[in-house]
A and B are shown apart, each in its own frame.
Chain A
């Protein structure tokens, strides 16, 4: 395995009873990269993300994240891996309605055994960095979509994960909020955060990713470096 590879996927297959979601995907994501996975609906891109996050298990092939072969982990091992190794951002935010924004973020650290006070202090730091410190005591139902996604990003970063996974992070946001989230992801990548995002949004991909992978019918059809595109955008 490459020393700087955060994710190394080899010949990954995922079959369901009536379909094949992934058909021999191999992929390497290096530290500091921002990789966008694109493709039409049902192409297998979310399945690929789930495999990397250890949310689902492959039919065959291997997924190694930060040197850990996820196939060797049981459910508890996968949970511990997710807790420390990755942060996830979802299209629909997935915040707990009955916890304040601050407690939603602190929760991720508390699960690792961090005391409540310490977890809240770390969460407040993130709220400051993400510009939502004035929304810390607000409950999710009263936050705007963009604010919710920023809270979700804060939660994902809480345990300083080596890999940040984002599944359609702007898919449920209006264009302005989407722009803000894109900026946020770009900033994170620029300070060294490895990022893998699944999106339909070509603008998001071209703006945030250094590499775009197109998945069609469970296979990687095309892989493209976006350095030039980014320069154009800049």
Chain B
């Protein structure tokens, strides 16, 4: 063992608490860094990662089995899966309307292309079994054991749920079973050598279809199309995750710099002693760097492991919407953490270590004596004359004694408060948006009256009976309005229409009655107040390049009409627009309301009200109250909470370290203060106050910074989600909330300071003073 190693190891053992602090902070910082980089990396291309994990298909192609044989499709050199016979199931007559399902016959979920992840139940292995395509963890009205019925087709029992990131099919059955479902196409899934651009995909398509009979190809779906849709959904996460990642990195850098600089200052005396013993300047510097590197490397390794363990569930939550069930960070994430953090620590230690290297031994030995600036002394003198309790005024002066250390600590508190403010703001924005677009309707009931035109029979989940109003539309409305407790009534019908010039159909909801009270919130413009008017959500307008004042032409069956966009409403579905009832009279004359929304006055018993509706018209069905939460909102709020706790804890550790360093440097002062009668509580108050003051400043600075960042991040999130940054997203900070958020600085500072302050309060005076 070399002298350098012996000296370094002895220093580590002698400064065990400091060593532990460095180790813990580096560990937490590294974990945050891994988490941040993991999030950044995952946020950068989650679809690509999910796509790569599943080896998704660059091109999903449907061929006409009448024109091309399976052998012809198999003969190509391109990596592919299939052919799978493909059928469609119309579920409009079933118990649960699931639209038209594209069903493929696949023997197993694996293969070289489009490896499906079966996340619930099992794969279909026998006739009569079906596996549905659903995002892992997703909820629906069907579960394992549910029977799907379609006119003229055998019953199929759901045995599992799988997910295809490229959406190659809505459901899968065995190859034998699909033959009984009257297949209409052969599905091929291709992966090309180059498929990064539309031209490359087209080139690949040309290659695989070359030589096939004309008309054999029925249709294709490029992974780029799927990617565009998927990334627009994930886009909401990207600004949010990126800002947290950057925050984590900055907090980590600040704390490491603070810890190591403090450790270097505290180690000057030790270095002086080594020089006096005959260590060369280079050896002294090596001792010091090794001394700091030991806990740094240990903390870094543990932090990398912890970061992987704890961050993955968060990242997993964020990306599992894309079907990624087994996530692993790219190697560079761990490599950057394992190499970067020690490099950062050593860099932070190097400058003061070089200073120590050049110090004459005598000066180094005496470097532990505090030399405070004139400003710090003036402040301390002013504080001593105030009416504050002496323990408080002494504490308030402490930060000025080590201005650099205090500045670093303050910066980490500011970032901690900023993180809390931002996370709280994002949470409030998400909750407000979620509540606006998916209200839980605690003050109203939704009543089904019948089937909308062209839509399947709807059954209420509780009774399973389809609604069939016995009264006429107008009589039902009158009856509902006459019920005791009724506050407002709105009749609803809907119609699926084609929007001329658009690529997607639109569902128009027609409202009648108290639309101001019960309809979607109008953000700009006004609610339709006459025939030929419509309001639409931002996403509908943004996706089609439309705005208020524009006119769209919609067609339902044989009827066509022009509708002028007169307002923007706050709803989340890009395919739904809203019109006045008079427009329905043009597109589908004589259509009755298929549902009603009835708001009751506060204090009305829901059950009694529901019973009164049933008594008024036994054919009406009251839906159970909606669950207002969305999975995206839950993921965002969960991620914000976890990241806030981690970054808040890291900021508190920065404070912890500062108090440890301050207490260590002031051992003699603390011993003296106790010897002249300062109680342990007063010592604690003094040290906690010293950081509490930084916490107050941190809160005052961090909150406005957090608010500003929120005002930048939320519009970016809304823009990425193809929505507008409306007032309910932006105006979430109110005075009481801001006061509470400002207190976060004090909470971080006090929590970080409390333990080391109490430890300092228990310091043995006899030992401290004897050591002098």
**Residue in A90, A108, A139 whose CB lies within 8 Å of B772:** A90
- In the assembled complex, the Cα of A91 lies from the Cα of B384 at a distance in Å of 26
The verdict on B401 contacting chain A, using a C-beta distance below 8 Å, is yes
When the two chains form the complex, which single residue of A76, A82, A115 contacts B676, counting CB atoms closer than 8 Å?
A82
Is B604's beta carbon under 8 Å from chain A?
A: no
Binds B, one of A59-67, A98-106, A210-218: A98-106
- Given contacts A75-B679, A97-B370, whether A50 and B766 have CB atoms under 8 Å apart is yes
Assembled-state Cα–Cα distance A52/B673 (Å): 17
Q: Which residues of A contact B370 (CB under 8 A)?
A: 97-98
List chain A residues, Cβ under 8 A from B380.
98-99, 103
Give Cα distance in the complex from A76 to B769, angstroms: 19
**Contact indicator per residue, chain B 383-401, by CB within 8 Å of chain A (1) or not (0):** 0111101110000010001
- The answer to whether A107 and B770 touch across the interface, beta carbons within 8 angstroms, is no
Q: Is the CB of B381 within 8 A of A100?
A: yes
Q: Is the CB of A111 within 8 A of B676?
A: yes
Contact A98 B680 (CB under 8 A): no
In chain B, residues 677-694, which have Cβ atoms closer than 8 Å to a Cβ of chain A?
677-682
Flag whether A143 is at the interface (Cβ < 8 A): no
Distance A167 CA – B680 CA, assembled complex (angstroms): 23
Provide the residues of chain A in CB contact with B679, threshold 8 Å. 75-76, 79-80
Stretch at the interface among B181-189, B664-672, B722-730: B664-672
A82-B675 in contact (CB<8A): yes
Contact A107 B384 (CB under 8 A): yes
Instruction: Tell me, yes or no, whether A56 is within 8 Å of chain B by CB.
Output: yes
Contact partners of A160 in chain B: CB under 8 A: none
Please, which residues of chain A bring their CB within 8 A of the CB of B675?
Answer: 53, 55, 82, 88, 90, 94
Chain A, 144-172, contact with B by CB distance < 8 Å: what is the 0/1 string?
Answer: 00000000000110010000000100000
The answer to whether the Cβ of B44 comes within 8 Å of any Cβ in the partner chain is: no
* Chain B residues closer than 8 Å to A180, beta-carbon distance: none
On whether the beta carbons of A94 and B769 are closer than 8 Å, the reply is yes
For residue A99, which residues in chain B have a CB less than 8 angstroms away from its CB? 380-381, 384
Assess the B680–A76 pair: CB atoms within 8 A: yes
- Tell me the chain B residues, 344-402 only, with Cβ under 8 Å from chain A: 369-372, 376-377, 380-381, 384-387, 389-391, 397, 401
Partner of A98, one of B397, B673, B765: B397
CA distance A56 to B769 in the complex (A): 12
List, in ascending order, chain A residues with CB within 8 A of B385's CB.
116-117, 120
Number of interface residues of A (CB under 8 A): 44
Is the Cβ of A111 less than 8 Å from the Cβ of B381?
Answer: no
Interface assignment of B764: CB less than 8 Å from any CB of chain A: yes
B674 within 8 A of A: yes
- Do B677 and A108 touch (CB < 8 A)? yes
Closest Cβ neighbor of B390 among chain A residues: A110
Inter-subunit contact A55/B766 (CB<8 Å)? yes
- On whether the beta carbons of B772 and A97 are closer than 8 Å, the reply is no
Residue on B nearest A172 in the bound complex, by CB: B772
A81 to B672 Cα, complex, angstroms: 15
Partner among A55, A83, A110, A141 whose Cβ is within 8 Å of the Cβ of B765: A55
Bound Cα distance from A185 to B675, whole angstroms? 20
Closest partner residue, chain A, to B676 (CB atom): A108
Q: Which of A56, A91, A95, A98 interacts with B377 by CB under 8 Å?
A: A98
The answer to whether B766 and A94 have CB atoms under 8 Å apart is no
Contact (Cβ within 8 A) B384 A83: no
Chain B residues lying within 8 Å of A56, measured Cβ to Cβ, are 764-766
Known A79-B674, A111-B682; judge A96-B377 contact (CB<8 A): no
B770 near A46: Cβ-Cβ < 8 Å: yes
CB of A144, distance to nearest CB on chain B (Å)? 16
| A76-B766 contact in complex given A88-B675, A107-B676, C-beta closer than 8 Å | no
Contact B676 A103 (CB under 8 A): no
By a CB distance below 8 angstroms, the chain A residues around B770 are 46, 50
Which positions in B face A, CB cutoff 8 Å?
369-372, 376-377, 380-381, 384-387, 389-391, 397, 401, 668-669, 671-682, 762, 764-766, 769-770, 772
Task: Given A80-B679, A98-B376, output 5 extra A-B contacts at Cβ < 8 Å.
Answer: A95-B672, A97-B669, A98-B380, A98-B397, A108-B676
- Give 20 pairs: A residue, B residue, CB < 8 Å, sorted on A: A46-B766, A46-B770, A56-B765, A75-B680, A82-B676, A84-B677, A88-B676, A90-B772, A94-B669, A96-B669, A98-B370, A99-B384, A100-B381, A103-B381, A103-B384, A107-B390, A111-B677, A111-B678, A115-B387, A159-B677
The 5 closest A-B pairs by CB, nearest first: A83-B677, A94-B672, A79-B679, A110-B390, A50-B766
